Amino acid sequence: MTIVSAQRRGSFLGVVDRHWRKNGYSLRAINNHADAPAMYAETKDGFVVSLIVADKGQVHFDVDSPCVQQSEVADPARQATAPLDPEAEVIPRPNIHSDFWSAETPEVGVTSSR
């Protein structure tokens, strides 16, 4: 839920890209779209991972398993207890400010990975 500003999205994707490569992931595709950049990689054991930056800097990580069989899923045993705001948007938007990732200035002169 951290706001990743447009000015810092490239840096964020760079950090994730370096981490994935360091851990042996092979990059499958990169989408350099200015508003909705994305990266897709595959692990050595066949999992496909993706990072997508969507509306207002909402970052999504998804993982697809290489071998899953369809199975029945039981209904929840209890009702959810978290309060739901009836006026809230269907898709929550990022709302947590980070002095670094939410900054609206480009990252300059950083040499270490985060």
- Each residue's pLDDT tens digit in the chain (114 positions)? 888 898 898 889 999 999 999 999 999 999 988 888 999 999 999 999 999 998 778 898 999 988 777 888 888 888 776 656 666 656 677 888 999 999 998 877 654 444
Please indicate, yes or no, whether the overall pTM of this predicted structure exceeds 0.85. Answer: no
Q: Using CB atoms within 10 A of its CB, is residue 39 exposed (0-12), middle (13-18) or buried (19+)?
A: buried
Q: Is 24 left (phi over 0), alpha (psi -120 to 50) or beta?
A: left
